[in-house]
Amino acid sequence: MGIKDDAVEVRAQGWRTLAALHALIEAELERSLQTAAQLSVVEYTVLDALSRQDGWHMRMQQLARATALSASATTRLVNRLEDRGLLTRILCADDRRGIYTELTPAGIKLLEEARPSHDATLERALAEAQEVPELAPLVDALPKLHTAV
């Protein structure tokens, strides 16, 4: 096995680690958000993305990218949240094909209620992952990514 083959295997192992950690965190968040606010992880992601957006409105396609979902899935996701009164669709004035989505007060409220649970669960999931030998190095690496030091 040469150097080149090693690189392939290193990438594969990195990918497996990434996938495993992702699955662990997502599963815990899923349960936590479900019981705390009847929200799935993607639904929370939408509300959170909207809240971190200036003016609190995004187009469908931005939402699709933010959630890594297909266009059709995004449509139905927004439908669900709109039916629950958590956000509203707003027609674009300048581009009449486009549709903005905006958080309603109820959406903001639910997000604020869910956020502590989300954050605590994330912290707990990362702590659990650190107990797993294969995952620990990745958990350690995560907070070092964006520190502006």
Partner DNA sequence: TATTTATTGTTGCACAAGCAACTATGCCGC
Partner DNA sequence: GCGGCATAGTTGCTTGTGCAACAATAAATA
- Which parts of this chain interact with DNA (CB under 7 A)? 30-31, 40, 42, 59-61, 68-80, 89, 95-99
Residue 18 interacts, among DNA, its own copies, none and using kind-specific CB cut-offs from 5 to 8 Å, with: its own copies
Choose the binding region for its own copies from 2-10, 56-64, 72-80, 105-113 (rule: CB under 8 A): 2-10
Choose the binding region for its own copies from 9-17, 54-62, 71-79, 104-112 (rule: CB under 8 A): 9-17
Kindly state the smallest distance separating residue 29's Cβ from its own copies, in Å: 8
Kindly state the smallest distance separating residue 107's Cβ from its own copies, in Å: 18
| Contact between 15 and its own copies per CB under 8 A | yes
Residue 78 interacts, among its own copies, DNA, none and using kind-specific CB cut-offs from 5 to 8 Å, with: DNA
Residue 75 interacts, among DNA, its own copies, none and using kind-specific CB cut-offs from 5 to 8 Å, with: DNA
Closer by beta carbon to DNA, 72 or else 147: 72
Residue 145, Ramachandran bin (φ over 0: left; ψ between -120 and 50: alpha; else beta)? alpha
Least Cα distance to 36 among 134, 94, 121 occurs for 121
Report the C-alpha gap between 58 and 41 in whole angstroms: 18
53-90 as b/e, with b when 16 or more CB fall inside 10 Å? beebbbebebbbebbebeeeebeebbeebeeeebbeee
Choose the binding region for its own copies from 74-82, 89-97, 105-113, 140-148 (rule: CB under 8 A): 140-148
CA angle, residues 133, 137, 143, in degrees to nearest 5: 135
- 95's CB contacts (< 8 A; 6+ apart) are none
